[in-house]
Chains A and B, each alone.
Chain A
Amino acid sequence: MRLLFILLLCLTPYGFSALPEGYQLKTISLPDGGSASVLGICQKDDETMAVCTWEGEVWEYKNEKWTKFAEGLMDPNGIYWDKKENAYYVAQKPELTRLIDLDNDGIADRYENYTDRFGYTKDYHEYHFGPIVDSLGRKYATLNLSQSGLPTKGKHRDGPGWSYMRYSGDYRGWIYRSDRHGHFHPIATGFRSPAGLGISPKDELFVTDNQGDWMPACGLFFIREGGFYGHPTGLAGHPAFGKDALEKLTPDDLVGIREMPAIWFPRGEISNSPGSPVWDTTQGKFGPFQGQIFIGDQTLSNFFRCDIEWVANQYQGFCVPFMSQTQSGTVKLAFDPKGRLWSAQVGRGWNSRGGKRSAIQYLEWDGNTIPMEIYKVSLNDKGFHITFTHPVTSEAIKASLPKITSWHYHHWSKYGSPRLDLKSLPLKNWVLSEDGKSLTIETELIRNNVYKIEFPNLISNNNKKLVNNIAYYTLNKLKGDSPKVTANCGYDNTPFLKGSSWKIHDKTRILPTVVSPLSWDKTVLPLPKNAIKLDSSKWDNPNWKENEEGAIYRSKGNWKTKEQFGDARFHIEFRFDESENVKTQLYGNSGIFFMEHYEMQVLNAYENPVYADGQCGALYGQQPPLVNAARKPGQWQSYDVIMKAPRFDDKGQLLEPLRLTVYHNGILIHDDASFIGRTYHRVNPPYQKHGKLPLMIQDHAGSPVAFRNIWVVPDIDYDRELESFRLLFSSK
């Protein structure tokens, strides 16, 4: 569809320099005799870069020579080399694939279906982008919406109709994580065509999406687990909405649930089809922009630079042009060990301004020349703080006073949005720092507006002209705005959780959707034949006593099994006594500690919105349950769990984390999830080697909680049983 809209564009390059001073653009011949079109690029080792192509191939570039590694893939939009596993990962349309060269002849022999637990119906738009990988080796990828599917009323492009892009199958419009073969964990939705994925050095997820229906412009989104980023179609896969709800949704239902992008990219000026963001982690090898973000644009054939800051519990920031006139249009960027920025470019189909069908180029800094650039724009109480890479004089500023304009966007089903309330804002005051590098400007600040700050003709003290003279700041929140708190308790000063981009025990974290549990009789299971009933004789703490009704109340001291367990299946029943005036973490707090160190929370979650990673069924301080399937206090509830113990090598290094799949009251709340470390309050200490260990149930302050009917099937084959366990309650 983009073809049509490109027609409507009048593209005038804004203040983009062709190349910033000190940078050089070099071109690499394309693989396959120049006939390939590249879709992704990654570094393999110090000498090798690898690309994946539209032709479905993977090529390696070493010593200025190309060799083919794999073929036969379907539109692989992204490639990653996993050093540890000695394997490539590529996102081809039907699956995320791991490519392995078993016999070391330089050609892939094994094409593993890493995960395909999402819908694919052969629709052209069902792109699959990624993967990016966090420091734990977990893979993330995005799924483009389709042109066919739900909602059925989606044919009308303009309201009151719904949208153009549809839901053709599971998790279209989502970003997901896959931790291992067969694992699929949906993270967030609201995407339309999320072609660019990036991961910050702190393991935070970012996605760029493309303007269209419900995407008023392109932007860089900071992804937090559970978030909704604007396009409603993906809500068909959300437990709080679903397919039926999608048919009935109205635009009003979206108000208040949508997360804004960290940065909007004004169309035609800076970006029309952004590729993947990369962080400059080159330690200065690529110039003075360490820690900042670079993105290439597919249509405009340019690179631009961004940086973000933490304001009111979310990221927002600015973008500024960097260079233009690449040969084709960038879809992916990657730094190599020399600090050179490689760009995979493709123009075919969506004609890039560069004009070439495809290209591979890299941008290299001379190690010395600092171009005159807007280094940074940040928000302060009354306006903005702007830093330059070279000092300027007050006279120079006077001769080039910044022009400030602002606007905001519609959120609607039409393609893109005009700039609303577009206006010039007065420059109320300005102050230049003594060193001449920082300019503080005062102007009117309006939330949810894009600010364009332009220096018409700024010259530095050493007579360098500011060519990239426009910065765009996305002001979602003002400093001091209070974030939306979701939980009745929690924290805002804890470390970030890898991958989910929330803080530990985050009081603003989106809470799991409340769903109905299965009725009690549907969750009653026959005792498996190898099961051991863990009656009170099997536990080590005599304080925990069975009462007349067969319930054992939480008592003084933790309660451990005498026997130690490795891989196992568990069934545990628990009940919170109805208690008046008890709330938060005190309403029936206990915990199931698998292998003594890894806690799944036991706490009343019925109308008790504690912080998401500390509610009933949460892997404490790490992973909330997929949904909240709690019953009311006073009713018995059940956990059914299969667990795979962590695996360590001889040196004590973790090979595989503790995994588990869990039903709470017959509802799946963890699907092959894993602990990222041990569980404590506010921290996740790393794994330490251990063998079999007891099951432990926690003593914790709080209103009474009782247990009963606990049984274990020891020494199961977790990987073999996983599939059938996933179907445990499906017939009920």
Chain B
Amino acid sequence: MSIRLILLSYSLLYSGLFADLQKGKELYHQICMTCHGHDLNGGIGPSLIDDYWKHGDQPNEIFHTISEGVYDSNMVSFKNIYSEKDRRSLVEFIIAQQKGLRSVKRYAYANDSLQNKDLSLDGLKDAKVVKEFKHPENHIYFDHNPTLITKIEANLYIPKEDTYTIDFKTNYFHGVNKIYLDGKLIDEFSSQGQVELKRQSQEIPLEAGVHKLTMLHQKHKNGHHRLFGSLISKAGLKFKLFGESMKGAAPKVISADGRAKVFRKKVHGLSPRSVLAVLPNHVILSINTEYAGIEKAWHSAKIDMTKSLAQRGAADTEIIGQVLPATIAQIKQQGHPGHIQYLASHIDGPNLNLELKIDQTPYIFTYTAKGKNGYKIIATTPNKVEALEISLHAPIKINGKIQQGKVLLKGPETQTFTIESGE
């Protein structure tokens, strides 16, 4: 019996003969979808198809999470809502949606444990494991330590029967690598010195379902840092297996709640010192603190730090959402240089107050959610200002009137004015 068959029978055993994929799908779309998203890619709750399993990716772990819920979160216990059979169907459905690696385990062996044998599963049969890791995420990565041999075991979820190859690449490969699928050696390569590596494994026909992937990896000192590998199907399906590591970083996506939030993040296209206002209606405004402008805006938006965190801030944080037009280009006092100082952000319940000095006059800008995808700004100053000049990128309502281009406010209008987007 092949390992794959064993795994499949294990899967059947655990789920009972009655677990029903179609039933699982129905139940998922009845209730789970509201939080975990139509395509399981997350929303209020975390994604169920990304690489990070907070509470474990074993079928029984998923079953436990559904049954018991998660303490101190919106995930309630479903054991009194769905029968055990239904909950198992849900597990079955969720597992069927996976692709790539799950249940990654990593073991380290001392280099000398091979005792002059070649690196192979056989050679390590009696070797002592010096370290054992369970990954909270499912991309493989390696220890830096060149004195250790790494063995990785993972379940490979194949969504569709096809012929697959594994692409490997790294800059300075220096070591030995062997990869087994369901116990069979499918690829191996080694180098005595540093080489640039780019190779493709042989073609491997794979049935849909769970396969067992094992990789042995011995790195020489001065060798590569990461080995990248992707699985590619003939039909063009491609996913990353290892190298693109999050190093244990959890996905981090920030959504609005009842309280306004203020964020400083490095986001592509935003000015370095922009301030992000996250309003309760899921509108996010990027406030340019050099011009007192709104340089970008989104509705139905979230701040996704996942990729950035995986690269320790070297990559940008992303804002996912529907783009709204940038509205205010600049606010300045007429006849002044337009010197803006950002002083503070103050969260006042659902509103965010930004304290700015505009050409040395202190203003408070209050950003408020308006409707489903709009916002309102009320600006006030206790000081007397002769005239304010507001330059607009796009038409917007100022003091109740749609305006565009350059708008001049005079007298009392400069002491309190309102800017409103949306209807």
With an 8 A cutoff between CB atoms, is A638 at the interface? Answer: no
Using an 8 Å CB-CB cutoff, how does the interface string of A32-45 with B read, 1 for contact, 0 for none?
11010100000000
B276-A109 in contact (CB<8A): no
Picked from B250, B278, B341, B346, the residue with its CB within 8 Å of the CB of A35 is B250
Are A8 and B312 touching (Cβ within 8 A)? Answer: no
Indicate which residue in A35, A37, A56 contacts B265 across the interface (CB closer than 8 Å). A56
**Nearest A residue to B270 by beta-carbon distance?**
A122
Whether a CB of chain A sits under 8 angstroms from the CB of B94 is: no
Residues of chain B lying within 8 A (CB to CB) of residue A72: 254, 261-265, 276, 278
Taking a contact as CB atoms under 8 Å apart, the answer to whether A10 and B221 are in contact is: yes
Q: Does B371 reach chain A (CB closer than 8 Å)?
A: no
Please choose the segment from A348-356, A380-388, A478-486, A575-583 that sits at the chain B interface, where 4 or more of its residues have CB less than 8 A away.
A348-356
From known contacts A7-B222, A8-B222, A94-B264, infer whether A116 and B311 are also in contact, taking CB-CB under 8 Å.
no
- Contact in complex: A357, B247 (CB < 8 Å): yes
- Asked whether, in the complex, the Cβ of A35 is within 8 Å of the Cβ of B249, the reply is yes
| B residues in contact with A93, CB < 8 Å | 264, 266
A71 close to B (CB within 8 Å): yes
Docked pose: A254 CA to B313 CA in angstroms: 34
Instruction: Name the contact of B342 in the complex, choosing from A8, A71, A116, A355 (C-beta under 8 A).
Output: A116
* Interface assignment of B372: CB less than 8 Å from any CB of chain A: no
Residues of chain A within 8 A of B262, CB atoms compared: 72, 111
State which size class the interface on B falls in. 35 or more
Q: How many residue pairs bridge A and B at CB < 8 Å?
A: 107
A6 & B345 in contact (Cβ 8 Å cutoff) = no
> Is the Cβ of A357 less than 8 Å from the Cβ of B344?
no
Docked CA distance A643–B278 (Å): 40
B227 to chain A, nearest CB (A): 13
A110 touches B346 (CB 8 A): yes
Residue in A7, A74, A75 whose beta carbon sits within 8 Å of that of B225 in the complex: A7
Question: Once the chains bind, are B261 and A121 in contact (CB under 8 Å)?
Answer: no
Whether the pair A33, B54 counts as a contact (CB closer than 8 A) is yes
Contact B249 A124 (CB under 8 A): no
List which B292-330 residues lie within 8 A (CB) of chain A.
305, 309, 311-314
Distance (Å) between the CB of B363 and the closest chain A CB?
14
**Is A120 on the interface with B (CB-CB < 8 A)?**
yes
Measured between beta carbons, the chain B residues less than 8 angstroms from A111 are 262, 344-347
Given A37-B249, A93-B266, A116-B342, A349 contacting B311 (CB threshold 8 A): yes
Beta-carbon contact of B263 and A357 below 8 Å: no
Q: Residues of B contacting A723 with CB < 8 Å?
A: 341, 357, 360
Closest CB of chain B to A114's CB: distance in Å? 9
> Please, how many angstroms separate the alpha-carbon atoms of A54 and B313 in the complex?
8
Q: Is B273 an interface residue (CB 8 A)?
A: yes
Q: Does A364 contact B (CB under 8 A)?
A: no
Q: Quick check: is A433 within 8 A (CB to CB) of the other chain?
A: no
Residues in A with CB closer than 8 Å to B45 are none
Contact of A55 with B305 in the complex, beta carbons under 8 Å? yes
Mask, B227-259, CB within 8 Å of A = 1, is 000000000000000000001111010100000
Contact of A54 with B264 in the complex, beta carbons under 8 Å: no
Partner of A54, one of B223, B254, B309, B347: B309
The answer to whether the Cβ of B143 comes within 8 Å of any Cβ in the partner chain is yes
B193 lies within 8 A of chain A by Cβ:
no
Q: CA of A387 to CA of B278 in the docked complex: distance in angstroms? A: 59
Cβ of B172 within 8 Å of any chain A Cβ, yes or no, is: yes
Q: Is A257 an interface residue (CB 8 A)?
A: no
> Are A112 and B348 in contact, with the CB atoms below 8 A?
no
Secondary structure of the B contact surface, majority rule: loop
B343 within 8 A of A: yes
Q: Is the CB of B264 within 8 A of A348?
A: no
Bound Cα distance from A94 to B271, whole angstroms: 11
- Knowing A71-B254, A113-B344, A724-B360 touch, does A348 contact B312 (C-beta < 8 A)? yes
Closest to A32 in B: B250
Interface residues of A in 98-119 (CB under 8 A from B): 108-113, 116
Is residue A619 contacting chain B, with contact meaning CB distance below 8 A? no
Known A-B contacts A54-B313, A95-B273; A109 and B305 likewise in contact (beta carbons under 8 Å): no
Give min CB distance, B212 to chain A, whole Å. 25
Which residues of chain A in 619-663 are interfacial with respect to chain B, using CB atoms and an 8 Å cutoff?
Answer: none
Contact of A116 among B54, B250, B273 (CB under 8 A): B273
A113 and B343 contact, CB distance less than 8 A: yes
Q: How far is the CB of B347 from chain A (nearest CB, A)?
A: 5
Which residues of A, 706-732, contact B by the 8 Å Cβ criterion?
720, 723-724
Does B183 count as interface, using CB distance less than 8 angstroms?
no
Q: Is A73 in contact with chain B by the CB < 8 A criterion?
A: yes
CB of B144 closer than 8 Å to a CB of A: yes
Which residues 167-226 of A have a CB within 8 angstroms of B?
181-182
B405 proximal to A (CB < 8 A): no
CA distance in complex: A122, B143 (Å): 30
Give every chain A residue within 8 A of B272 (Cβ-Cβ): 94, 120-122
Q: Complex: how many Å from CA A348 to CA B249?
A: 9
Say yes or no: B263 contacts A56, CB within 8 Å.
Answer: yes
B264-A74 in contact (CB<8A): yes
What is the CA–CA distance of A8 and B225 in the complex, to the nearest angstrom?
Answer: 10
> How distant is B165 from chain A, measured CB to nearest CB, in Å?
28
Cα–Cα, bound, A545→B263 (Å): 62
| Least Cβ–Cβ distance between A219 and chain B, in angstroms | 24
The answer to whether A55 and B252 have CB atoms under 8 Å apart is yes
In the bound complex, CA of A75 to CA of B313 (Å)? 7
Which B residues are in CB contact (< 8 Å) with A302?
none
- Residues in B whose Cβ lies below 8 Å from that of A120: 272-273
Instruction: Kindly list chain B residues whose C-beta atoms are within 8 Å of the C-beta of A71.
Output: 254, 261, 263
In the complex, residue of chain A having the shortest beta-carbon distance to the beta carbon of B259: A107
Find the residue from A3, A7, A8, A108 having the highest chain B CB count within 10 A. Answer: A7
Closest residue of chain A to B143, judged by CB?
A: A355
B144/A110 in contact, CB under 8 A: no
Q: Check A73 against B264 for contact (C-beta < 8 Å).
A: yes
Q: Write the residues of chain A forming the contact surface with B, with a CB cutoff of 8 angstroms.
A: 3, 6-8, 10, 32-33, 35, 37, 54-56, 71-75, 92-95, 108-113, 116, 120-122, 124, 181-182, 347-351, 353, 355, 357, 720, 723-724
Give 9 nearest A-B pairs by CB, closest first. A349-B312, A35-B250, A72-B263, A357-B248, A74-B264, A112-B344, A111-B345, A122-B272, A124-B314
Known interface pairs A110-B346, A110-B347; 16 further A-B residue pairs with C-beta atoms within 8 A, sorted by A's residue number: A3-B225, A7-B224, A71-B261, A72-B254, A72-B262, A72-B264, A75-B313, A110-B345, A112-B343, A116-B342, A121-B272, A122-B266, A181-B343, A348-B312, A355-B145, A357-B247
Q: Would you list 15 pairs from A and B whose C-beta atoms are within 8 A, ordered by A residue? A: A35-B249, A54-B309, A56-B263, A72-B262, A74-B313, A93-B266, A94-B273, A112-B343, A113-B344, A116-B273, A349-B311, A351-B144, A357-B249, A720-B360, A723-B357
